Amino acid sequence: MPTGVVPVLCRADSTGLMEHGFMRHVLIAAFLFASFGVAQARPADCLLVVDQQTRIDGACEFKPSDDGFQILSSTAPLVFAFVFRSGDGSAEGHWNDPPGSTRAHSYLGTLRRDGACWANDRARVCAWKVGEPRSWSPEPTRDQSSSAAGSGYEITRREDGFPIVDVEKWCRRTYSASPSNVGACIHEEQIDYDSANYAWTGLSKAYRDRCAQMAVKFRNRFYGNFVQCVSDFAFVQSREDMSKNPPKFRY
C-alpha cells in the first residue's frame, strides 16, 4: 500500500467532540489499515464502477485480508477501494474519491456478493485472477426489502433539505428478525443524526442535493449512511475551500 493510504471515516457530534460513533469508525479504519498493510499483494484483473463511471478497468494490485480485500489501480491517478465483509453476508465498501487522494473516505454503501464482484445499485468492486474470464449479473445486486424506496419508508425533508425518517419504524423493520438489536439501532441512529445535522449547516447546496438524492437508496442504517455522505462531501468541500484560499502558516 502506498505510504499514507488509509481509509478515514470521521464524524463529530453536535458539540464538536468525538463520540463512540466516531471512535467505532476510527477503529474500523485502523483495523483495515493494519490488516491490508501486511497482506501479500498480487496482480489481478479489476473493475471499479461508481455512479456509472468506470474508475478501474484492467490490471491492478489485489490485497486480501481475513475480512475483505483492497484493489489498487496500476496507473495514475491512484484509485483504490476497500471491501470489508460483515457477518450477515453483506459488505461495506469505500474508495478514494477524488482519484489521487490518499484516503478512502468516500462510502460506497452496503454491497452484496455477485461472483467475483461486490455490488449495489451505485457501485461495483470486482477482482479476477489474471486471465480468468470476467462474469457477473447484468444488473447490480439489489436488496429492496430494506431500502427506503423498496420498503415504503416515508422520507420527508426540512426546509433546508435535510431528510427526516421515522427512525423507530426504520429500525424495527430492518431488525424484524432480531428485535434485540432495535434499541442499539435507535441509539446509533440518534448519534449519526446529530452528527449529520451538525455538518449539514456548513455544506453547500450542491453537495446537500447530492446527499439528498442518494438518501432514497440507503439500506439498513439510514442516518448511519447519511452521515457518511455528509462527512465525505464536507471533507471534499473543505479541500476545495483551502485550494481557493490557502491558509497562512503561523509560527
**Tens digits of pLDDT across the chain (251 residues):** 444 444 444 433 333 333 444 444 444 444 444 444 445 789 999 999 998 889 999 999 999 988 889 999 998 889 999 998 887 888 888 898 888 888 777 888 889 998 899 999 889 999 999 988 887 654 444 433 333 433 445 788 888 889 898 989 888 887 777 788 889 889 989 999 999 999 898 898 888 888 887 776 666 678 887 887 888 888 888 888 888 888 888 88
Domain that holds residue 210: 144-240
Report d(CA 232, CA 55) in Å as an integer: 18
| Same domain flag for 58 and 86 | yes
Whether residue 94 is found in the same domain as residue 160: no
Domain-terminating residue out of 67, 100, 128: 128
Query: Amino acid letter at 98?
Result: P
Structurally, the chain folds into a number of domains equal to 2
Is the domain of 113 the same as that of 170? no
